[in-house]
Amino acid sequence: MHANFMILLLASLVPTFTGFIWYNPKVLGTAWMNASGVTPEKMKGANMAVIFIVSFLLSFFLAFALQFMVIHQWGVFSSLATGLPGTKEDFANFMLKYGQNFRTFKHGALHGAMSGFMIALPIIGTNALFERKGFKYIAINSGYWVITMALMGGIICQFS
């Protein structure tokens, strides 16, 4: 299997592990349940296998999209992917010279966190406004995604 695919699979596990901690009743789970209106009774009876499989698939989609935001070299690749003569060589030369620039966990985490603030927060915030949820609901869920996307971005940028 291609190494980048394996890194995306690894990054796709981050939301599950972060969620186990973030939404634990001893951390923010109880506050989240109160803010969202979820009760222990509503939590019972769900098909957890389906929930985890679908959430992993959605996490993979997120990891796939996030790589284009945290790895700057993708922008150069798309600019040179015209099929014109010499562009393949131009890209290869560029990658030899600059391919590892800004390829650190810290840099990927920065862009992942920025994506969380600029993508996840507006989506969650907009939905919460129409669902009549409060600030605490927005802060808990958006905070989870900012941290999760920072970790995912760091992993993707460092190891891809």
pLDDT digits (tens, 9 = 90+) for 80-97: 666 666 666 777 777 677
Q: Are 87 and 79 in contact (CB under 8 A)?
A: no
| Domain count for the chain | 1
**pLDDT given for residue 77 in this prediction:** 61
What average pLDDT does range 40-60 have in this prediction? 93
CB 12 within 8 A of CB 68: no
Q: Tell me how far apart the alpha carbons of residues 127 and 92 are, in angstroms, rounded to a whole number.
A: 44
Q: How far is CA 140 from each of CA 39, 45, 134, 145, 159, rounded to the nearest angstrom?
A: 17, 24, 10, 9, 29
Q: Tell me what the mean pLDDT of segment 135-145 comes to.
A: 98
Banded pLDDT at 17 (limits 50, 70, 90): very high
Cα 149 to Cα 66: distance, rounded to the nearest angstrom: 8
Range of the domain at 43: 3-159
Nearest by Cα to 145 from 128, 127, 123, 160: 123
CA distances to 90, 102, 159 from 123, rounded to whole Å, are: 38, 28, 28
- Determine the average pLDDT of the residues in 60-77: 85
* Helix, strand, coil % in the chain, rounded to nearest 5: 80, 0, 20
